[in-house]
Amino acid sequence: MSVYEYSAKTVRGEEVPLSHYKGNVLLIVNTASKCGFTPQYKELQALYEEKEDEGLTILGFPCNQFGAQEPGNASDIEQFCELNYGVSFPMFEKVDVKGAHAHPLFIYLTEKAPGLLGSKAIKWNFTKFLVNRQGEVVKRYAPQTSPKEIQKDIEELLSTI
């Protein structure tokens, strides 16, 4: 199995198979507009702009499960990201990342890359999962890990075909 087995709806409601991103290095992030980590959108966008031509794709998945920090609808989220941070990487519809209604992609991600002490549950917004060009989950990063701190790991994956 790989992340390519899954699909998700974009903020505009279009169902996209993740196989669409096959061959790219992916950074999958659960996001929120009203979180202390929300300014990471700026770093994520800068990283995307810098590395997109080398094969990096960032996928943003808004989630309202942590402190109700993503209260808006898909249109609100898209406008917020675009206006405040110039986000141009793919953003998806709001999803649950834990619990009984968790999106299957996030169930897969947490199984393949458990967190601290083997915990599978995502604990907060801006948890990040790095996926290689073959669709395999390589590493999980805590919310407080800035995108800049991940850049070296991303560059290593981008340098391998």
Which H/E stretch holds residue 81? helix 74-85
Residue 4 CA to residue 65 CA, distance in Å, equals: 25
63 is annotated as an active-site residue: no
Catalytic residue of the set 8, 28, 32, 35 = 35
Are the C-beta atoms of 11 and 80 separated by less than 8 Å? no
Q: State the residue for tokens 């009203």.
A: 34
User: Is 126 in contact with 97 (CB distance < 8 Å)?
Assistant: no
Long-range contacts of 47-50 (CB under 8 A, 24+ apart): 47/147, 47/148, 47/150, 47/151, 47/154, 48/88, 48/89, 49/88
Q: How many residues are listed for the chain in this entry? A: 161
Residues recognised as catalytic: 35
